[in-house]
Structure formats: C-alpha cells, structure tokens
Amino acid sequence: MTKSENTFVYNDKYIKLFLEDEVFVQAEVSGNTIIKLTVVSEMKNPMNTFVIKFKTENFGGHKSTIMHITSPFKTTLSYSARIQRNNTSSFENTSVLDLYAKVPSLEQWPYRIESIILYDFILK
C-alpha cells in the first residue's frame, strides 16, 4: 500500500500513518475499550478526538522519527504500535508509553520509520 492509498483507519480499530501524516481521529468508546475509530477533517468534538502527527525532526544533529499524540480522554490510555522501517517491507513491534489524560505525548525513534500502525487502545 502506498501513502496515497492510505485511508488511515482500518477495521474501525487500527490507525496507519505514513511519514508527514497529521490526522484527527474520532473515537467511540464502550466501557474501557475504543470500539470504533473514524478519521475526521477537523476537531469538532475534543472530548473524543485524537490529534496525531507523524514526522521527522532533527534531534542532536540526527534525523529522528517523531510522533506527537494527545489523548482526549480523562483517564490514561494504553495502546500498542508496530513500525515499518525505511527500505523494509515488514512491520515490527515497538515500545510506546501510555498516554496520560489530556497531556500531549511525544514518541521518538532515532531512525527513519516509513509507516506506523497503532492498535489495542484501552482506557485504564
């Protein structure tokens, strides 16, 4: 799949981003699980919409891949991620930190990542 073919959300529960993507993702919650994700064109409901930016930035003189993400929820949110590094066709697991309530978060990798998949969103 190429970046131009990407729809960002798959099976209502996976978010796939390519470098330089910035999206608003609205979440529908049942209990402590996000059951449906939908990409929206603008922030209409800040109580249940993520802002995610996936890009490269200079850190210490080196290009790093950065993901800015802010959880809209009042509780901590855990999730999992898989990354596709530059010039590879497979995805691998990567570690990410829980998102704290309404606190902007930054994930950084010291190398170029072509694509990332976010999944298993659970409110704690």
In this prediction, residue 123 carries a pLDDT of 92
Q: What is the pLDDT of residue 1?
A: 67
As given in the structure block, the two tokens for residue 4 are 């131009």
Question: Residue 31 belongs to what domain range?
Answer: 3-123
Report pLDDT for 102: 86
* CA-to-CA separations, 57 to 8, 19, 63, 89, 121, in angstroms, rounded: 22, 11, 6, 23, 26
The predicted structure's pLDDT at residue 89: 86
- CB of 36 within 8 A of CB of 29? no
Tell me the C-alpha distance between 68 and 71, whole Å: 10
How confident is the prediction along the chain (124 residues), in pLDDT tens digits per residue?
Answer: 677 777 889 889 999 999 999 999 999 999 888 999 999 999 999 999 999 999 998 877 888 999 999 999 999 999 999 999 988 889 999 999 999 988 999 999 999 999 999 999 999 8
Overall number of domains in the chain? 1
Question: Which CATH number does the domain housing residue 58 bear?
Answer: 2.60.40
